Structure 1
């Protein structure tokens, strides 16, 4: 796949199809079907390669602070190659600092999990449990250990961040629980909300709107045709990217892709989300698709039903690396959008003052 140019092909990843039926046998990640189901025919990494990578990661863990300070690019490159599944929980905790938070706050999670909370809050959380990856074997059973651990993580998170709790926290917590126990999952979730995407879940969702505008402007450079189409039909970014970014693509991509994206996200931050979003937009709205999208409705439907091959692990990650997008591009556009919003707020304030 790496040697082919799929820039305008009708057959992007056509050999990989999303399963339409629920299986009685889970895939290697525990899914019985749905968008996250991973086809077992996907190319596997040789065992000897996995073992070599595991040894390298174990060596990094033994000198973690030194690696992060002096050899960060090595850590980044190994995250981009994919964290070995046996060490993924440990790696994510180290990358986001959850391991240190857990050490500094022994017993805090369990205390908060057992403490009484607002009954209305608990009721709201309970209502969300069955919606989280219902085709994953861990969350199939109402009242099962998966749903109960999910409840505990969300309850504690809502107690420490009462102004920011929203439904988008549930899939994030569920992804983490598939990798690790409830206590470290909580600290990872807190790190995501506080350090990686601050403001995403605050009332008004301004941070998401800013990042949506950044994504939209970057698309102009990456795929002018998709950008022009969205602009022509006045399709605002928040209409299609809100769930992508707030749920870190966990409800959009097949699971093998989710894990690889999260490996990079925990190392490099939100810029990984922009790269994923740009690839999905570029190939999900390539010219052959746009011909079938005469208006806003058809375009949004196309974005809700991206061809499975576009999101398949091999294709997605290769195209993310190929994007003509630098760190400076992201930083400059972020500064532009923040400045633009400040100016708009300033003008609005002046107009309101003059109208008194």
Structure 2
């Protein structure tokens, strides 16, 4: 699905909840997760007795998993690693001639040992890095706009505070996160910093060095989700309308319910889309969604959103428990774990009866409507 950058204008109504995402601490209503352990300590409350899962999350974290959702037999993993090494070593050939096969391999899940390298290649971050040698170092040396520096610094301890990489206040993880986010504000001074960029950058840093994470962030902001982090944030509002229109095809019942209770898509899908589900799903599922997202683009984010809405609101039984707007919002804030588990979610996302053409068609229809609305507003 081609992404169209939307220029700031008077099109969709900018909801206050959306505006607040720009450079404020409260923007995503982030819990100060460190507080449960005492955020004044040098660490975000980490104590050595707490176990760490295989993803680096410490017991007590929302993302902590006692057991992996899906353990792949070692011999299967070794085979997959060999296949991925061949792909990465012959990347241009694979991109040109065997993209369909690559897509299937991303759907199966990228081997953990190669995930960082694969994400950098898939996103086009590697090419960008090579085209702009020395650019990150140059930005890294600059002081940064005090306005953004202050907000970024206040946000650092909120990003995955129970992950071993970010648990120490002022530790290497937080320092690298600061470097990447500050560099982006210098790279795109007209955009500055949006709080939803921080979890995106943090996920990348868990898998690659700071320079690579910077170029990965650039690609996600400019190629995958253009306009999502710009002033006005109209792109996310437009995608909310697209999601809602597609829901009518996927689950007419869920669509009717949300329409009846006047639940604007912005109210439930903003964090999902702007953070690419990194703050919503169990970690095994986040990684699998990102494997597909970085291969296939934003349509994967749409598909995940549609699957969750369909699972949570797609039957009369489920709707009995959420009779009003408040109950529905509460339900969507606390999605049933079984619908978010790696195996179930990935299968549903792949099998969702929605073609790329369907999404593209709806995208163009909503964009046309958006432009017409903007003309009307401009004339008045």
Q: TM-score, normalised by structure 1?
A: 0.90
1:29 aligns with 2:33: no
- Which residue matches 2:348? 319
Distance 1:220 1:251, change over 3 A: same
Question: For residues 157 and 285 of structure 1, what CA distance do their matches in structure 2 show?
Answer: 38
Q: Secondary structure at the match of 2:288?
A: helix
Deviations 1:197-251 (A, max 9, x none): 1111111111111110111111111111111110000000000001100000000
Spell out the pairing of 1:119-158 with structure 2 (5 A cutoff): 119-158=146-185
Selected match of 1:71 from 95, 98, 107: 98
Q: State the aligned residue count.
A: 332
1:306 aligns with 2:335: yes
Distance 1:41 1:174, change over 3 A: closer
- Which residue matches 1:273? 301
Question: For residues 331 and 39 of structure 1, what CA distance do their matches in structure 2 show?
Answer: 40
Question: For residues 321 and 35 of structure 1, what CA distance do their matches in structure 2 show?
Answer: 26
- Which residue matches 1:257? 285
Question: For residues 334 and 77 of structure 1, what CA distance do their matches in structure 2 show?
Answer: 25
Deviation at 1:334, TM superposition (A): 0.6
Deviations 1:72-124 (A, max 9, x none): 10111111110111001110111111112222322221221121122232111
**Contact 1:254–1:311 at 8 Å: present in 2 too?**
yes
Question: For residues 290 and 236 of structure 1, what CA distance do their matches in structure 2 show?
Answer: 17
Question: For residues 154 and 59 of structure 1, what CA distance do their matches in structure 2 show?
Answer: 33
Deviations 1:266-324 (A, max 9, x none): 11000000000001111122433321112111111110000111111011011112211
Deviation at 1:57, TM superposition (A): 1.0
Consecutive unaligned residues in structure 1, runs of 5 or more: 1-19
Deviation at 1:41, TM superposition (A): 5.2
Deviations 1:45-79 (A, max 9, x none): 11111111111111112221111111110111111
- Which residue matches 1:183? 211
Spell out the pairing of 1:84-95 with structure 2 (5 A cutoff): 84-95=111-122
Question: For residues 87 and 127 of structure 1, what CA distance do their matches in structure 2 show?
Answer: 32
- Which residue matches 1:218? 246
Deviations 1:157-215 (A, max 9, x none): 11111232200110000000000110100000000011111111111111111110111
Deviation at 1:39, TM superposition (A): 3.6
**Contact 2:68–2:284 at 8 Å: present in 1 too?**
no
1:235 aligns with 2:250: no
**Contact 2:70–2:342 at 8 Å: present in 1 too?**
no
1:206 aligns with 2:234: yes
1:346 aligns with 2:375: yes
**Contact 1:35–1:253 at 8 Å: present in 2 too?**
no
**RMSD of the alignment, in Å?**
1.6
Question: For residues 117 and 341 of structure 1, what CA distance do their matches in structure 2 show?
Answer: 35
**Contact 2:144–2:185 at 8 Å: present in 1 too?**
no
Q: Secondary structure at the match of 1:130?
A: helix
Deviations 1:319-348 (A, max 9, x none): 112211111110111111001111222233
- Which residue matches 1:196? 224
Question: For residues 108 and 328 of structure 1, what CA distance do their matches in structure 2 show?
Answer: 37
1:50 aligns with 2:69: no
Deviation at 1:34, TM superposition (A): 3.1
Deviation at 1:140, TM superposition (A): 0.8
Q: TM-score, normalised by structure 2?
A: 0.84
1:81 aligns with 2:108: yes
